[in-house]
Structures are given as structure tokens and as C-alpha cells.
Structure 1
Amino acid sequence: MTSRGPTARVRVRRHDGDDAIGGRATLAVEEPLEIRVDGQVVATTMRTPGHDFDLALGFAITDGGLDPRAVDAMRYCGAGAGEVIASGAAADLSGPYAGDFNVVDVATRDRSGAAVHRHRATAVSTACGICGADVIADLTARAGSVADVGLPITPEVVAAIAPAVRAAQAGFEATGATHAAAAVAADGTIEVVREDVGRHNAVDKVIGALAAERRLPAHRSVLFTSGRVAFEIVAKALVAGFPALVAVSAPTSLAVEVADRAGLTLIGFARDDAFTVYSRSDRVVEPPSA
């Protein structure tokens, strides 16, 4: 590990026309995180340090098939019994520490690790959340349906989500290089915001945070993502039980196909008070008149 924090400062030389001046710039940190369940390696993903337990738990649930009810504790590799940090809590990185902040172990109650259905041997980049037909088939089989979940949301709430989340993106404000994901209540209240250089990591961090608070399935919340919506984002949303997904960019054809089949309200291009509904538009309703 080269950094314990989400940002790093580097020396740069800026050019503007004929002028050049030295200075410093803030970058988003990208570090590997090895995720284990009961000591078994599930995957290694490139991520921005911060909310690592949320990421490990969210990934183990959405990609590994872990039942969140089976989780007992989480710890950084090498942490002693007195250094176990509760699910979802931020680690105190200010003092000396002998463990490895790039390895998180999720411990289940029976310590069997049997709850994880699939392990990924290769590293997951910040650009790609899933790879391989077997992974797609596995996620599709576990995604489930939210067709019967009622969650009416107004156009005003949908239009207000992106700017509300943008105002909470401290990492993007500092670096211009991080994605954001959020869980949002039907009235527009921002419940959880997470950032990461990988948009799928940001989504997993949100899902992990909700799981740590025993709030899955997320039938009463909308999932927001600041990037495009590919298949794996829709699959993760469905595994977590979100009935609606809002994004600032476009979805892919497979994302729309899966969302439509599973009864997920999928909204893209949510920016500048406008948006496009690709599936289950009946959940977007006008508020009742006075």
C-alpha cells in the first residue's frame, strides 16, 4: 500500500498557452483490495481506500452470493481481537497499525465460508465490474425480481437526486476522478453516499453500508450512480432489492433488457431537470394535487 487515504498530492507543471507554472495536484488514490470470506480469497479489486468494509461486504453479497445475515464480523488482515471494526464503521487510520489495510476478511458465524457461491481468481479493474459469461449467468440467476415492489417517486424527486448527490461528492470535488453511488429515499432524502474510482465499487459500498445496518432488501430506496449503467450495475441493484435505479448517463441494451424483465425502474440521463425512463415508468408518478 502506498496510501491509506482516498486522495494523494503530487507535483505537476501546468501549461496554459505560453505560460507554465509548477504546483501540486490532488489525485484519487487507486489501490488493490483483497476481499476474503473466512480466510478464503473471493476477489481482488482496484479501489479508492475508504469504507473498505462496506466494499468488501457489498462485493461479497452482490458478486459472491453471501447471505448478509450470515456475517459476524469484519477485520483488516492481521488485526487482533481488539482491532475488529464493526460492519460499516470507518477505520481509525490515524495511529500505528500492524495489519494490512489492503486485505479485508469477512467472517461468517460458522466460519465455513460456504455461503460464498463464486470466487474470482483474477483482479477486477476499476473499469470492469464483471468478466465472463459464467459471471453474467450467475448474477442473472441471483438477481431476482422487484416487479411487485411498490415505490412511487415523483419527477421532481428524480430530477433533484443528481445535484443533491453531487453536492456530497467531496472526493470528486477534490480530484474530478471519482464516481459516486447513493441510496435515496422516495422523498428525495439522501441516505448513503459513497465514492470510488470504480463505479461498481461505489455501488458495492452503498450496498455494504445498507447491509451493515440490516437494511436489505432495499425496497424503500432508489439506487443512484454517477456513471453509465451496464448490466452489472442493474444486477447488483436487483440483488440488493432496489426497485428503481437512477443514473446520469445512458444504460446499455442488456441493462435495459434485464431491468425490464425484473421489473426494475431504470432511469438514465438524469441531469438538468430532465431524465429518460427506460423500464417500469409507472413508478414515476405526479404528486397528488392539493
Structure 2
Amino acid sequence: MNTGVSRPSANPATPDSITEGVWTTPIVRHTTDVRKELDDQLAVEEPLEMRILADGFQFRAAVTMRTPGHDFELAAGFLLSEGLVPDAGTVARMFRPEDPHEPQPENVIIVELKPGTPFHPKRLSRNVFTSSSCGICGKNSLDSVWEVCPSRPQGLDGVSPELLCSLPDRLREVQAVFTQTGGLHAAALFDEFGKLLLLREDVGRHNAVDKINGRLLLDDQLPASGRLLLVSGRASFELVQKAVIGGIPALAAVGAPSSLAVLTAREFDMTLVGFLSSKRFNVYSGAERIRKA
């Protein structure tokens, strides 16, 4: 199954070009005493529409803004987090629209469910917890996680503080598109020995995590017991939610967690680390998984 997509080049007659999630465009740069025309590289942001094909009927599941690349993983991970695709065994195929009248087929993913797979279209109209401004109370948010993932993540004991502190620098070393643009978030999955297993970048940190969950789902490697997820930026409720659904027992962030992220991590016995750097970090939940210095 194809799980990634390369961006096509823009019309060569234009001054802009798109390559592997990076947009090169002419700009004017000003300093206090110099004006200079040059090319700059920016992270690509485009909409991705996800549709579900069930028993011959097609339904729009969601539209999200993302950095193109690993779109099949993103769709699989997002639908997993919404409880619409619980495992790879429910997916018959994933494909782009073949209708010649489709205006932007490169920005659409269709997920066809296997015949007989339970699917309830009314779930598509429910609230999707994708931002801190969704206005959903804490109880309903926690209930939504229990609904999709009724068990707690397992494994990952005795993580050393030294290993944790080494991860942010290792993450930056492998962020290829961020190095070019400075405009992407990243999520990285490590094993208990600190081996990097997966890395995904996107304009949205939640998309980066969905891409990792989607890869795990398509490879039939869920739940991801004994793994640690590192994210750039802060740790929101949404990221904890997605980690729990992926069965990941530990989440570390270089920024601060939110209050609901901490409450959710504690509810699911997940280890939550914030303000992770080369010299220090805070543990907000699940401190028993980390060895004493």
C-alpha cells in the first residue's frame, strides 16, 4: 500500500516551486540599512479532505490543513483517533479520486472500508476535538478518549533521565524540512533504548502524531507498547489523546503541557514529560517509569 506522496513541481514558467513539502518563492528582505531580493523556503500548507467509502456510499469525514507527504498515514491516523478505523483489518484500500472532474485529487484521500465493517455516518457529525478552542469540557473530552481506547497504554519501564535529555537534540538533527523552512512541527517515536523508529513533520503537530499513528496502524503495530513519543512545542490534550489511542505509554514535549493534557495523562497512567531539554525536564504524570538520577 502506498503510504506517502511527493509533491509535483509547480509550473516551471512561474517563479515558485514546490518540492517535498517545501515552497521556494521570491521575497524581499529588509534589514536596518539593506534591501535585498532573494528566494526563501517555506513549509507547504494545503487542505486534505478525507472521505470514507462504506458499502458503496461515500462520506466526507474531515478536512484538515497539512503539509503534503505521508497523506495515507495522516488519513489512517486521523480516522483511528476518531474511532472510525479501529485497525488495519477494516481497511480494504486507500486511494486518490480517479474522477477526471475532481478539482484537486492530490488533496483528497478516500478510505474504503471492507464489506461488513460497522460504520455509523452520524459519528461524522459529532464534535472533533482538534484544538484548544473547541469549547468541550474536560469530562466530555476524557469520555471521548475512553470511547475510542478503553485500555491504558502499557510498558516502558526504567527510562533513564540521560536518555530523555538526549532526545531533543536528536530530534532537531533529523528534522530535514524544519531545517530548510523553520516552519514545521515534528513528532518522533523512540523505543526504550532511545532508537529512533519514526519521524514525521507537519505544519500541525497533531498531524505529525496522526502520521505516526497511521504508519503504526497500516503496519499492524498497534498498540505501540513500550514506546516513547517526542513532540516539538507544547503538549496539548489532543496530543495526549492521540498518544493514548495509539497505545503509547510515554509522551515528552519540549514545551509546556496544558492542564487537560496532564489530567488526561494521569487518567490513563501515561508518563507525561514537559519542558524537555538537554539539562532538565518536568514529569507531570507517570514518574514511576523514569529511573531516579
Q: Which of 17, 28, 46 is the matching residue for 1:13?
A: 28
Quote the residue 2:81 is aligned against: 62
Contact 2:59 2:121 (C-alpha < 8 Å) held by counterparts: no
Counterpart residue type for residue 216 of structure 1: L
Distance 2:37 2:225 in 1: 51
Unmatched 5+ stretches in structure 2 = 1-6, 11-17
Counterpart residue type for residue 96 of structure 2: Y
SS of the aligned residue for 2:106 comes to strand
Query: How many residues in Structure 1 have an aligned counterpart in Structure 2?
Result: 269
Counterpart residue type for residue 279 of structure 2: D
Distance 1:123 1:285 in 2: 37
The Cα shift of 1:119 comes to: 1.5
Distance 1:130 1:74 in 2: 31
The Cα shift of 1:103 comes to: 0.5
The Cα shift of 1:139 comes to: 3.1
Contact 2:184 2:202 (C-alpha < 8 Å) held by counterparts: yes
1:230 aligns with 2:236: yes
Distance 2:191 2:208 in 1: 18
Displacement over 6 Å in runs of 4+: 121-125
Q: Which of 225, 228, 235 is the matching residue for 1:219?
A: 225
Quote the residue 1:246 is aligned against: 252
Deviates most, 99-108 or 40-49:
99-108
1:131 aligns with 2:131: no
1:105 aligns with 2:105: no
1:173-218 deviation per Cα after TM superposition (whole angstroms, max 9, x unaligned): 0110000001110100010000000010011001111111111000
Q: Which of 38, 53, 69 is the matching residue for 2:72?
A: 53
SS of the aligned residue for 1:11 comes to strand
Distance 1:130 1:142 in 2: 21
Contact 1:143 1:236 (C-alpha < 8 Å) held by counterparts: no
Distance 2:44 2:288 in 1: 41
1:112-261 correspondence runs (5 A): 114=119, 118-119=123-124, 128=131, 131-133=134-136, 136=141, 137-146=143-152, 149-261=155-267
Q: TM-score, normalised by structure 1?
A: 0.84
Tell me: CA distance 1:79–1:57, structure 2 relative to 1, closer, same or farther (3 Å). Answer: farther
Distance 1:129 1:104 in 2: 26
Contact 2:45 2:65 (C-alpha < 8 Å) held by counterparts: yes
SS of the aligned residue for 1:77 comes to coil
The Cα shift of 1:151 comes to: 3.4
SS of the aligned residue for 1:101 comes to helix
1:282 aligns with 2:288: yes
The Cα shift of 1:11 comes to: 1.0
Distance 2:252 2:78 in 1: 20
Quote the residue 1:44 is aligned against: 63
Measured on the aligned residues, the alpha-carbon RMSD in Å equals 2.9
The Cα shift of 1:43 comes to: 0.4
Tell me: CA distance 1:219–1:115, structure 2 relative to 1, closer, same or farther (3 Å). Answer: farther
SS of the aligned residue for 1:133 comes to coil
Quote the residue 2:272 is aligned against: 266
Unmatched 5+ stretches in structure 1 = 81-97
Contact 2:235 2:253 (C-alpha < 8 Å) held by counterparts: yes
Q: TM-score, normalised by structure 2?
A: 0.83
Tell me: CA distance 1:15–1:169, structure 2 relative to 1, closer, same or farther (3 Å). Answer: same
1:14-50 deviation per Cα after TM superposition (whole angstroms, max 9, x unaligned): 1111111110100101100001121321100000000
1:75 aligns with 2:95: yes
Distance 1:256 1:207 in 2: 21
